[in-house]
Amino acid sequence: MARELDRFSRGGELVAVLGDWTAGDGPLYRKLADAVAHAVDEGALAAGRRLPSERELAKLLAVSRATVVAAYEELEVRELLERKQGSGTRISAAARAVPADGRVSGGRAAATFQRLIDGPGSVISLACAADAGVPEVAEALEEVARYDLPSLLGDPGYQVRGLPALREAVSEYYTGQGLPTAPDEVMITTGAHQALVLLSEVYLRGAATVAVEAPSWQPCLDVFRDAGAGVVPVPLDDEGIDERRLAAVLAEHRPSVLYVMPTFHNPAGVLMSDRRRRRVAELAARYDVAVIEDNAYAGCILARENPPEIPAPLSAYLPAGAESVVVESLKAVWGGLRIGWIRGPRGLLQRCARRKALADLGGPLIEQAVAARLFPRLPEIVKTGSIERAERCDHAERLLAEHLPGWTWRTPDGGSSLWLALPERDADVFAQIALRHGVEVIPGSTMDPTGAHDNYLRLPFMQEPEVLDELVRRLADAWGDLMRHGPGEEEPRARTIV
């Protein structure tokens, strides 16, 4: 496991810190040197930080070794690098470090978070798979202003567990799915991401281990690692997490937590079957492992001729006494609401609530009131959205089949992305080529520490049709460049640095 996790520390963080380093005019070596210098000035690269070797960084950035050699030489002239035989290349101890201005560093999810901070610019970013807000949000907001605001303003505004009306709506939602739930078994969070952070703080203290699906969405993996937990990957198949490999991992590693995305897995789009849910529940109970069930994409159905029938939540299959929590959000309605929740045991929620109080004293109540108004509309919202989702997915698949015929994928059961396999190519290398063509790609290596998906990338398809057209055109151009010329560019001409 240590060897697999090391894959996330070998230069990947530096690549994330550099961001869109190829943008603008000038030779690549100078742009690379400028990007490293900028990261040092911001404090994202600290004095003494070891950098990858010339050969390794050239591979990571899909450039020639000569480009990295020239960039490192220029940084030496600027007195930002120190290079010593046997100790490698490091940021100079004398390098000036300005307090970071909010730039994200650390973990393979850094690029994703930084893109949310910076905005997409001219780059088409595949970092975020989220839909535009539905019109019902505006209707619910008007109703809140008209009917709910006076009573809300009479409240002090600090509801750490969440607005009672919303907790009631969530409890009815799960009870209707075959998972009987009381309002005090629900806690509202600022999106599903905060829910995972809170749960990791409760479950993953000390030398904890988490069993996760491989692939998994990399910000979740970073949350677990940030809590100090070890991550043990378990492969997927077309029914969900592989039950044989899961049984072996549970027996060998005895993890504290099993983290799964049974309803429209991100990024693979797999819907865990009813049979597999029963088997996973049996294994979790046998090995006494707590289950975190992340259903953030539960409302993201693809309504083709025969849309899949959604089984009950995995937690409904667990026997009495087995511990599980469900994490979910209104992502299918609008991510901008930042409404998520945890459904779980009362005692666990009490511990999560204490941590949430330290973080924010409770989420905004007006947004929660809007969410409560939206819950009765959810079936219709999901139905309407599922039609558009299927149309966008079909459009993306047609474009890929036409312009990138060598790429392969499994049509997803649901969700917002295609999980694409590149033929015999490293997606990390392709990501650097794609960035030069104006597309930010999230390669599969960030989502699977085993290396089994290094040739994969995630393509969110809920873009406007004209954006999808341009996106696939840029990807095809980048792929053509990679096929014709390989990952590197011509060697820089000899020059004198003054």
- The residue with greater pLDDT, 493 or 334, is 334
pLDDT at residue number 27: 86
Domain 125-133+386-485 class, CATH top level: alpha beta
Question: What's this model's pTM, rounded to 2 decimal places?
Answer: 0.83
- Encode 378-400: b = buried (16+ Cβ within 10 Å), e = exposed: beebbeebbeebbebbebbeebb
* pLDDT mean over 395-416: 97
* Mean pLDDT, range 249-261, rounded to an integer: 97
**What are the residue ranges spanned by the domains of the chain?**
2-100, 125-133+386-485, 136-379
What is the total residue count of the chain? 498
Mean pLDDT of 161-165: 97
Task: Quote the CA–CA distance of 45 and 50 in Å, as a whole number.
Answer: 9
Q: Rounded to an integer, what is the distance from CA 312 to the centroid of its chain?
A: 24
Max mean pLDDT among 69-73, 87-91, 263-267 falls in 263-267
Of residues 235 and 24, the one with the higher pLDDT is 235
Q: Which residue has the higher pLDDT, 213 or 218?
A: 213
pLDDT greater than 60 at residue 2: no
**Tens digit of each residue's pLDDT (9 = 90 or more) over 362-400:** 999 999 999 999 999 999 999 999 999 999 999 999 999
Distance (Å, whole) CA 67 – CA 334 = 43
Q: Is the pLDDT of residue 471 over 70?
A: yes
How far apart are the C-alpha atoms of 381 and 151, rounded to whole Å? 27
Bridge partner list, 83: 89
Residue 43's CB is within 10 A of a number of other CB atoms, namely: 16
Q: pLDDT for 455-467, tens place per residue?
A: 999 999 999 999 9
117, 443, 456 from 411: Cα distances, Å:
31, 19, 14
Split at pLDDT 50, 70, 90, the class of 96 is low
469 compared with 64, residue with greater pLDDT: 469
Q: For the chain, what percent of residues have pLDDT higher than 90?
A: 68
Architecture of domain 2-100 in CATH? Orthogonal Bundle (1.10)
Q: For residue 431, what pLDDT is reported? A: 92
Q: What is the pLDDT, as a whole number, of residue 16? A: 74
Q: Tell which wins on pLDDT, 9 or 62.
A: 62
Mean pLDDT of 140-169: 96
167 - beta bridge partners? none
Can you give the pLDDT at residue 11? Answer: 60
pLDDT at 218: 87
Mean pLDDT estimate for the chain = 88
Is 15 a residue whose pLDDT tops 90?
no
Cα–Cα nearest to 416, from 462, 375, 457, 378:
462
- Is it the case that residue 103 has pLDDT exceeding 50? no
Question: Which distant-in-sequence residues (6+ apart) come within 8 Å of 145 by Cβ?
Answer: none
- Percent above pLDDT 70 for the chain: 90
Which numeric CATH code is attached to 136-379? Answer: 3.40.640.10
Give the whole-angstrom CA distance, residue 294 versus residue 313: 10
